Amino acid sequence: MLQKIRKHKFLFSELVKRDFKKKYKGTIVGMGWSALSPLLTLLIMRLVFTHFFGSSIPHYTIYLFCGNLVFSYFRDSTTQGMEALSSNAPIFTKCNVPKYLFLLSKNVESLINFGITIIILFIFCIIDGITFTWKFVLLIYPILTVFLFNVGVGFILSALRVFYKDISYLWRVFTLLVMYVSAIFYSTKTYSETIQKLFYINPIYTYITYFRSIIIDGVIPSIEVHALMLIYAVVFTSIGLLIYKKYNHKFLYYV
């Protein structure tokens, strides 16, 4: 795959630029929405949930920000990735190019937005009096693993979207469910230890917890959490690649 990406690096870079420009085309603020969108969402959640949950959770604004940051990246990356094949059908039906380039370009564009939002998060950390330590460097690990996880899910969704158009509507409902079970605005500490462990079945909750543990608590998560994050990333990416490899030639007949 890496060899083909290098071979088509010009096309890949142009796809990333196109996707990034297309997202903000016609807007007044433009790229500023990369920062404004999560900030507005944070403001609304802060106003709505502070009364119910904020009094018992330290650094509640950062707690919310971490949760919304990771979830929004997952939702945006996979939702855009789902349309990668269907929206680029006019290109790959006429030119012999690796189809996964279209999905990867969507994910890189989402990763850029994610990076911009992380900078905003760090600014809020300074305002909220959170001390920066060397442990913040470890955030590279969840960023890489969640990127791979999103790519894997994107592979699966984009393939399903070609054959089943209804997947777009089902995914909207599913991501709403994921949001509520990812403990974005509430704490899982009120549940029993068994229930708390069950939350780790949700990959997004696992990635969110890593961010919160490093940023808010200053604690490095256990080796089990590290392993679980990597397993989610590898398993979903592997499944996605296998689906692409199996149905690669059939995509042309359904788009």
Gap between the Cα atoms of 167 and 216, Å rounded:
37
**Could you tell me the two tokens for 65?**
């920000």
pLDDT of residue 33: 57
The answer to whether the CB of 184 falls within 8 A of the CB of 71 is: yes
pLDDT over 70, % of the chain? 73
Gap between the Cα atoms of 75 and 173, Å rounded:
11
Least confident interval from 76-80, 95-99, 214-218: 95-99
Is the pLDDT assigned to residue 29 strictly greater than 60? no
Is the pLDDT assigned to residue 183 strictly greater than 60? yes
Which residue intervals of 54-139 are DSSP H helices?
A: 60-82, 84-87, 89-92, 100-127
Q: Residue 16's closest CA among 100, 79, 106?
A: 106
Please write down the HEC assignment for all residues of 4-23: HHHHCHHHHHHHHHHHHHHH
Is the pLDDT assigned to residue 174 strictly greater than 90? yes
Report CA 147 to chain centroid distance, whole Å: 7
pLDDT band at 145 (very low <50, low <70, confident <90, very high): very high
What does the DSSP 8-state code read for residue 184? S
pLDDT of residue 97: 67
Contacts of 119 (CB under 8 A, 6+ apart): none
pLDDT of residue 82: 87
Gap between the Cα atoms of 2 and 9, Å rounded:
10
Which of 9-13, 31-35, 126-130 holds the top average pLDDT?
126-130
Gap between the Cα atoms of 52 and 54, Å rounded:
6
Please tell me the pTM assigned to this model. 0.85
pLDDT band at 95 (very low <50, low <70, confident <90, very high): low
What are the residue ranges spanned by the domains of the chain? 32-254
Q: Residue 2's closest CA among 250, 255, 253, 241?
A: 241
